[in-house]
Structure 1
Amino acid sequence: MNVAGSALLGALAGAGTALPQPLAVLLGTGFCGALTTYSTFGYEVVRLAEDRAYLLAAANVVVSVVAGVGVAVGAHALVAWLSA
């Protein structure tokens, strides 16, 4: 769900002023905050490290961050292009 939340947050940012600011803030912090589960992400990484699965823990971090940033940038660009 972190990737979906990142995509939605990127889309909201890409919308710029097309959305009223209070709505963008509500959706960005409220809905995206509830949708993403970074506490679960942190727990999974710690659990993998405790199980000495260091490579999997590192891969989980790298893939999650790269995927999240990638979809946020892509969604931002797409929505900015569509709303231009």
Structure 2
Amino acid sequence: AKYAEDYIQLNCQDEIILYTDGVVEAAMNEEEYSEARLLSFLETHRNDDLPQMIDGLIESVQNFTDHKGMEDDVCLIGLRVQ
């Protein structure tokens, strides 16, 4: 497999959220959580503390799927540049 490479400049206090496709592919009634929903959540909660944002995102995905569980692996990692 080939993967695209890119570089971005990160500054002190920048935050990064890494996630597996299981987050955006979490589904309810064949509708996926989607990248659009993820981006909307992150934009709405951009001023939250990082741990609070991660917890809120997990809760948002669980609420979307009506707490039915995930069919795919789900991993979220929040990083803050020091």
State the TM-score, normalized to the length of structure 1.
0.30
Bigger radius of gyration among the two: 1
Relative contact order, higher structure (CA 8 A, sep 6+):
1
State the TM-score, normalized to the length of structure 2.
0.30
